[in-house]
């Protein structure tokens, strides 16, 4: 069966069909985030091994005034746009400060998940009732092409959490090309990048002792069972992360522990797995500051300032559209 014949399938089913028909097999990591995946990711962010969230918190807590200095110095109303807003926990550090100083701005949280946006809107209404919030349910690229926030005011776009690392370099460049299309001269972007560091520290973040990341990754198979009528036996697949310090790529695979066949009812198709055949499910790419500067320049931005945590594990970098 070809992908073409299945244009009426949902995008999850279509992407699974394409991914499991490819060699090597793969499934896009954006499908981690159903209700169960969202909860598991919250647990990941609280794990001792997963330093990324803690480090970015530290940066925003300690340096939010410097980060917001330029947009505030304009002394005019502005848009605060956030790609992949999630639970907004980190962003609330900026929002609370902007609220206290009485800044005139509108917050546009963008997320692929409507549920996540509803929850965020509810929690903001409780905590910051005077904040104008306009949620946008869309993908990064879709929202950057539509620019629903466009109103002649300057924008600060947040792209936090190291989410850009979940794209291979070529695709990250494409997302950044969309960022250029979604901004005008003088707009600012605050991007979170996980930095290259001791490979063991990186590997541990994706291979925690409690097995929460394993559960998070296996949820992808369980999601196919729930939503597409697949019959994956998750015990027959192994979570296998690896880190390559040469290109900074941490890659996660699910490895079939035996030769097996999996039926997917929604696709009306069976997929054969060789013993120890991997399914590629996620990349989390790490960068250094030189690479980030180059990436800014080729994408039509200038790196204005890099805000790092005390151990230089993570960077929130401020780019300006030139
Ligand atoms: C969302 N993203 C930045 C996380 C990361 O670190 O790549 C997703 C994740 N996957 C496993 N653990 C966390």
Q: What is the pLDDT of residues 151-190, one digit of tens each?
A: 999 999 999 999 999 999 999 999 999 999 999 999 999 9
Out of 39, 45, 55, 162, give the residue to mutate to test ligand 1, the one with the largest number of ligand atoms within 8 Å of its CB.
162
What pLDDT, on the 0 to 100 scale, is given for residue 3?
35
How many angstroms separate the alpha carbon of residue 264 from the centre of ligand 1?
27
What pLDDT, on the 0 to 100 scale, is given for residue 113?
83
What pLDDT, on the 0 to 100 scale, is given for residue 188?
98
Is the distance from CB of 3 to CB of 14 less than 8 angstroms? yes
What pLDDT, on the 0 to 100 scale, is given for residue 6?
39
Domain spanning 51-197+286-321 has what CATH number? Answer: 3.40.50.150
How many angstroms separate the alpha carbon of residue 219 from the centre of ligand 1?
14
pLDDT tens for each residue of 182-202: 999 999 999 999 999 999 999
What pLDDT, on the 0 to 100 scale, is given for residue 286?
98
What pLDDT, on the 0 to 100 scale, is given for residue 86?
87
How many angstroms separate the alpha carbon of residue 153 from the centre of ligand 1?
33
Indicate if ligand 1 lies below 6 Å from the C-beta of 219: no
Under-70 pLDDT residues of the chain: 1-9
Indicate if ligand 1 lies below 6 Å from the C-beta of 284: yes
Indicate if ligand 1 lies below 6 Å from the C-beta of 163: yes
How many angstroms separate the alpha carbon of residue 99 from the centre of ligand 1?
30
Annotated domain spans of the chain: 9-33+200-285, 51-197+286-321
pTM above 0.85, yes or no: yes
């Amino acid at each position: 069966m070809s992908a073409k014949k299945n244009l009426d399938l949902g995008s999850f089913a279509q992407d699974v069909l394409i991914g499991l028909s490819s060699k090597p097999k793969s499934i896009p990591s954006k499908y981690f985030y159903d209700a169960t995946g969202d909860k598991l990711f919250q647990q990941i962010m609280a794990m001792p091994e997963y330093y990324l969230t803690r480090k970015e918190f530290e940066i925003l807590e300690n340096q939010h005034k410097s980060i917001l200095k330029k947009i505030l110095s304009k002394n005019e109303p502005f848009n605060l746009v956030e790609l992949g807003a999630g639970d907004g926990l980190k962003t609330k550090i900026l929002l609370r400060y902007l609220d206290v100083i009485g800044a005139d701005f509108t917050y546009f949280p963008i997320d692929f998940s409507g549920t996540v946006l509803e929850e965020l809107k509810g929690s903001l209404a409780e905590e910051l009732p005077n904040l104008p919030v306009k949620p946008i349910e869309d993908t990064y690229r879709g929202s950057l092409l539509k620019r629903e926030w466009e109103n002649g005011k300057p924008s600060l776009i947040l792209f936090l959490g190291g989410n850009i690392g979940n794209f291979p370099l070529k695709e990250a460049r494409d997302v950044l090309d969309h960022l250029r299309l979604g901004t005008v001269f003088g707009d600012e972007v605050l991007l979170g990048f996980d930095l290259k560091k001791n490979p063991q520290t990186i590997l541990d973040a994706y291979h925690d002792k409690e097995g929460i990341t394993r559960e998070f990754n296996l949820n992808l198979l369980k999601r196919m069972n729930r939503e597409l009528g697949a019959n994956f036996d998750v015990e027959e697949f192994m979570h296998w992360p690896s880190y390559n310090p040469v290109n900074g790529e941490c890659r996660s695979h699910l490895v079939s522990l035996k030769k097996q066949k999996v039926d997917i009812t929604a696709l009306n198709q069976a997929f054969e797995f060789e013993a120890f055949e991997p399914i590629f499910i996620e990349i989390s790419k790490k960068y250094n500051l030189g690479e980030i500067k180059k990436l800014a320049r080729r994408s039509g931005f200038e790196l204005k300032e890099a805000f790092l945590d005390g151990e230089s594990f993570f960077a929130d970098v401020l780019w300006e559209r030139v």
